[in-house]
A and B are shown apart, each in its own frame.
Chain A
C-alpha cells in the first residue's frame, strides 16, 4: 500500500497515511490533479492557505522501468489562476517510489516569517526549521542540506524567487549528481511552495523497502521489452539524437521549419541559430572537456542532459535545454551560448522558470528596456529578479505582467503563461495545444505521441489548419497518461515506431499493480485527468475565451512562410469537448 504524506503547515503537523482507496491507482499528474481538484477551492487565492502543493511520483517510480523518474508538482497556479501540473525529472521521484510514498501534500501556511523543510525517509516524515536557510539560492541551499544528509539525498527546493512568491518561481529538483538543475518551472509552483513556508523537501531513501510487484517476472519481461525499444530507436538509443545533441537538437530543425520564435515572436527564423544550435553546443562542450551526454534523471537511459563548462573548463550549468536556449537566445535575439548558459545557471540558482523568464525579458526588450541581442543586459535583468528590486518584481511575475507594466501589446501568453519555443503560426498543431490545454501555453501537454498510433489519418501539414484539432486532442490525452505513469515524454519517440515498446507500458502497470489495463484504458485514464483539470478551471472562472491565442498570432504573418494562426475558434472549442 502506497502512502501519502500530508503536512499541515498551519499546525506544523505531519501525517503519513495510507493512500485513500479512491486515489489508489493514481500517480504523477493523475494524483496531483485529482487531489487539487477535490481538495482545493477553485476560487481560492493561489498564495493563500487553502491552496495545496502536491508533489507526486509516477505510478512506475522506483521500479526497474527505464525513464520512469518524472515527478509531478501540482496546485492552483499563481501565474494562470488555473490548475497546474509542472513536470520535472531528477533523482527524487524514484526515491519516493522506493519508499512507497505516492506523494507529499503541503497544506495551510506556516506562521508569517517562518521557514521549514521536510525530511522524508524510511521512518516517515519530519518538519524541521529552515530559518537559517532564508534567502539562500538553490546551489548553496542544496550544498548545506547535503552536508547534513549526504550527497545522495534527493532534494526538492526553492530559491529566493520562490520565497518572494513571484509567479515565475520554479521548484528545483536535484539531478543524479545532486545538483539543483532540474526544475518544475512552469506556472509558479515555487511561489506556492514559498507561500506554504517550505524551503525544501529532503528525500533520503536509505534502507527503503523498495517497490512491491504483483508479478515481478512479468514486470521484468515488460520492462526489458520497453528498454529494448528505447535502445533501438535512433532518437533515443545510446549515441542517438537526444544523447548527442540534447533537446537542443531542435534549434536547427525549428529554425529550418520557420517556427523558431525570434525577438519576442516577431520572426520565425533567427540569423544566429547556428551559433546556439545543438550541433554547435555539442562541439563546444566536447572541445572544452565538458559532458555533452549526461544522465540527469534517475533510471534514464536516453541521456539528453549535458554539463556545460566555460572556456576554462569550469562547470557552469547542467542540461542546457532547447527551451532555455530558445527563450533566452533566439527569443531575445541573443546568439551567445556562454551567456545563455550563465542565464540558465542564474535561473536555476534563483529558482526561476527559464521559459517564463526569457519571454518576460524579451517583452521588456520589445519595450526598449534593453536592446534585443544585449546579453549583458539580459543577465542584469535576471539579477534584478533575484534581488527582488521593483523592476525584478515585474519581470519575475512573468510575461503577462511585464507586458502590462511596459504597455506592450505583443505579449505571447495563453492563460497568462508564456508560450514555449514553437511559433504557433508555423507549427499549428502545437498552437492548438497552447490554446486549449488547461495548463496555459505548454508544449509538453500535447507533444508526445505520433499521429499514426493515435489513428489520426493522413498527413497533417504544420502550416495548414486542417486536422490540427484532432491531432492536439489525441496528443493531450496520451500525454496525460504518460505523465501519470511518471514516464519521460521522450519515450514516446521510441514507442511510437516500435509497437512492442508501447504495449509494454500497460503490461508494466498491470504487473506492478495487478491490473488488466489495455492501451485504450491508459488513454481513457488520460482523458479522465484532463476532464478533472478542465472542471477545476471552469469552476475557477475559465471560459472558452481563455482558450485562445493572443490576437497578433491571427493578424501578423510570420516570416519566412508568411503564415498566421488560422485554426478557427469553433475548432478550438471542440478540442477538449468530451
Chain B
C-alpha cells in the first residue's frame, strides 16, 4: 500500500453530523493515490449525499485524485446551488461525477 497523506476536510451543511464528525473542518489521513470517492466512502457518506465537491477551492469530481496537504470540501444537494449560479459551475460538472464513476 502507498504512503499516508494528510488532508483537511470541510463538510458543508448537515454532512458533519451524518459523518459523525463533531466539527465542520478536521484533518484526515488517506492512503496516497486516494480519490475523492475514497474519502466519501471513508466518511461513510452515501453517494447521493455529496453533490458539490471542491479540492483546494476548485470544482472537482468523484475521480479527482487527492494529494498530501489538499483541502477537500464536500457539500450535500441542499447546499449545492450557488455553484451553478454565482460561481457558475455547471450542473454537469458535479452531476457528471456519476457518469465518470460508471
Contact = CB atoms under 8 A, between A and B. Distances in A.
A452 B84 CA distance: 9
Given A252-B75, A451-B88, 5 more contacts: A235-B81, A253-B75, A253-B79, A257-B54, A462-B89
B13 A459 contact: no
B88 A241 contact: no
A452 B57 contact: no
B73 A256 contact: yes
A555 B86 CA distance: 22
Contacts of A250: 82
Interface residues of B, number: 34
24 contacts: A234-B80, A241-B78, A245-B79, A249-B79, A252-B24, A252-B73, A253-B75, A254-B82, A256-B71, A274-B25, A277-B24, A279-B12, A422-B86, A430-B86, A450-B84, A451-B84, A451-B88, A452-B91, A459-B90, A461-B88, A462-B89, A468-B88, A475-B85, A561-B58
Interface centre among B25, B57, B77 (most CB of A within 10 A): B57
Given A235-B81, A257-B54, A277-B24, A252 B10 contact: yes
A234 B78 CA distance: 4
Nearest to A256: B73
Interface string B41-76: 000000000001010111100000000000101011
Interface of B: 10, 12-14, 16, 24-25, 52, 54, 56-59, 71, 73, 75-93
A281 interface: no
Interface string A464-501: 00011001000100000000000000001100110000
A329 to B, nearest CB: 16
A303 to B, nearest CB: 13
Interface centre among B14, B52, B82 (most CB of A within 10 A): B82
A123 B59 CA distance: 57
Contacts of B13: 241, 244-245, 249, 279
The interface residues of chain A, by DSSP majority, are classed as loop
A450 B92 CA distance: 12
B88 A429 contact: yes
Nearest to B90: A459
Contacts of A40: none
B90 A451 contact: yes
Contact of B78 (A244, A254, A280, A451): A244
A427 B85 contact: no
A497 B83 CA distance: 14
Contacts of B76: 234, 241
B87 A259 contact: yes
A560 interface: yes
A468 B88 CA distance: 9
Contacts of B52: 253
A493 to B, nearest CB: 5
Nearest to B16: A279
B85 A462 contact: no
Contacts of A422: 86
Contacts of B92: 452, 459
Contact of B12 (A253, A259, A443, A462): A253
A350 interface: no
Nearest to A497: B91
Interface string A424-462: 000101100000000000010001111110000011111
Nearest to B51: A234
Nearest to A448: B85
Contact of A462 (B10, B71, B81, B88): B88
Interface of A: 234-235, 237, 240-241, 244-245, 249-250, 252-254, 256-259, 269, 274, 277, 279-280, 422, 427, 429-430, 443, 447-452, 458-463, 467-468, 471, 475, 492-493, 496-497, 560-561
A493 B81 contact: yes
Contacts of A462: 87-89
Contacts of A492: 85
B75 A460 contact: no
Given A235-B81, A241-B79, A279-B13, A460 B57 contact: no
A460 B81 contact: no
Contact of A460 (B79, B80, B90): B90
A182 B14 CA distance: 28
Interface centre among A253, A427, A450 (most CB of B within 10 A): A253
Interface centre among B13, B16, B75, B91 (most CB of A within 10 A): B13
A447 B85 contact: yes
Contacts of B73: 252, 256
A398 to B, nearest CB: 23
B88 A561 contact: no
Contacts of A458: 90
Nearest to A467: B88
A251 B91 CA distance: 20
Contacts of A560: 56-57
B91 A450 contact: yes
B49 to A, nearest CB: 11
B85 A257 contact: no
Given A257-B87, A279-B24, A450-B91, A463 B81 contact: no
A453 B93 CA distance: 15
A449 B82 CA distance: 10
A287 to B, nearest CB: 14
Contact of B10 (A254, A256, A259, A443): A256
B12 to A, nearest CB: 5
Contact of B90 (A259, A427, A452, A463): A452
Contacts of B14: 244
A463 B88 CA distance: 10
